[in-house]
């Protein structure tokens, strides 16, 4: 009796149709159009797998569509500027909204082109993802043209030639970029083209794209206070993961000497007292050294005391009696 076997179960046919292998520029153009062509009746591609380096002779002009497609290079293949390429960018973006294209493990290779995605002030890009991609550059390269508004986009570049310049957008423009840029060991998160947080070999920057020290803040510094009430005999402040305490003293029960739990070397703590103590005092303890003129002193309303933890104790830095 002759038996017949399927290479794939019937349920796999849809997934097979959703994946496309492309070997050439013409293949890539055709399959990208199938993803959005309103007249296309087959299974729309969801994953476009590069089976060879794709050399472009001219830019690929994308449409104002939600593509819902992933282009995968397997870490081996590139979308490249061909030897006969004519144009100043690899992909053209339409007036209007374009969204949901992922590039995964794709190398972008250019010789003369200085722009990957070109559009206009009428172009909005949303949810473009570049995951573990690489760059091979001949000149300075920008991801997006200067006037484009880009939102919810993540750019993760693994291999990047450090001798070349790279930008999210043409630096002469005023376009907005909201998302995350990661290049090798460097990370920058943007909101409307303003960097929120950046990480380089020198440190971490907050609204500072090129930090020059371990922590570089281009703006105000806010330390969130925690509100606590001190009560009972010899009340203890838990300094775990906190630097600013807004303190109310329960004078009906608070007695003896206030103290603080051990901290981390270099940790700074600021104490602010909402009211004046009736019985409780701040003094030297096993974990605290106070200023020599303030032994056994009752804190007063609006008084602040600052400490730094070093050599196994909280050492007083300064205090202000704001009464």
Domains in the chain: boundaries: 10-184, 226-320
Rounded to whole angstroms, how far apart are CA atoms 217 and 215?
7
pLDDT of residue 8: 39
Domain 10-184 CATH (choose: 3.60.10, 2.160.20, 2.60.40, 1.20.120): 2.160.20
Q: What are the average pLDDT values for consecutive 10-residue runs of the chain, which has 323 residues?
A: 41 60 97 96 94 98 97 96 96 97 96 92 94 89 88 87 71 70 76 76 86 92 96 97 97 98 97 98 97 95 98 96 85
Token pair for 2: 């002759």
Task: Tell me the CA distances in angstroms from 100 to 56, 144, 175, one per residue in order.
Answer: 22, 16, 20
Stated pTM of the model: 0.64
Per-residue pLDDT, 168? 82
Domain 226-320 sits in CATH at 2.60.120
Name the strands in the sheet holding 91-92, side by side, starting at the edge strand that comes first in the sequence.
Answer: 60-61, 91-92, 115-118, 141-144, 166-169
41: number of Cβ within 10 Å: 6
User: Is the C-alpha dihedral spanning 35, 105, 180, 137 positive or negative?
Assistant: negative
Query: Could you identify the residue written with the tokens 């630096």?
Result: 171
- Quick count: other Cβ atoms within 10 Å of Cβ 242? 17
Cα dist from 154 to 21, 23, 183, 209, whole Å: 25, 27, 11, 17
């Amino acid at each position: 009796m002759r038996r017949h076997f399927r290479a794939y179960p019937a349920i796999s046919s849809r997934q097979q149709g959703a994946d496309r292998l492309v070997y050439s520029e013409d293949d890539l153009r055709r399959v990208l159009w199938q993803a959005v062509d309103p007249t296309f009746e087959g299974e729309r591609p969801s994953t476009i797998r590069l089976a060879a380096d794709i050399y472009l002779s001219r830019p690929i002009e994308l449409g104002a569509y939600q593509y819902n497609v992933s282009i995968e290079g397997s870490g081996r293949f590139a979308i490249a500027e061909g030897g006969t390429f004519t144009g100043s960018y690899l992909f053209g973006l339409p007036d209007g909204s374009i969204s949901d294209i992922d590039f995964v493990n794709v190398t972008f290779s250019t010789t003369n082109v200085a722009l990957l995605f070109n559009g206009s002030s009428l172009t909005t890009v949303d949810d473009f993802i570049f995951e573990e991609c690489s760059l091979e550059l001949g000149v300075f390269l920008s991801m997006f043209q200067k006037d484009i508004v880009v939102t919810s986009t993540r750019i993760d570049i693994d291999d990047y030639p450090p001798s070349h310049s790279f930008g999210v957008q043409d630096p002469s423009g005023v376009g907005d970029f909201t998302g995350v840029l990661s290049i090798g060991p460097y990370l920058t998160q943007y909101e409307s083209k303003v960097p929120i947080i950046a990480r380089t070999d020198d440190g971490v920057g907050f609204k500072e794209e090129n930090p020059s020290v371990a922590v570089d803040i281009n703006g105000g510094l806010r330390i969130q206070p925690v509100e606590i009430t001190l009560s009972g005999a010899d009340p203890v402040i838990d300094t775990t993961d906190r630097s600013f305490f807004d303190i109310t003293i329960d004078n009906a029960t608070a007695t003896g000497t206030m103290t603080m739990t051990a901290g981390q070397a270099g940790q700074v703590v600021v104490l602010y007292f909402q009211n004046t103590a009736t019985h409780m005092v701040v003094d030297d303890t096993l974990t605290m050294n106070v200023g020599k003129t303030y032994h056994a002193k009752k804190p007063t309303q609006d008084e602040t005391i600052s400490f730094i933890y070093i050599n196994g104790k909280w050492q007083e830095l300064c205090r202000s009696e704001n009464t």
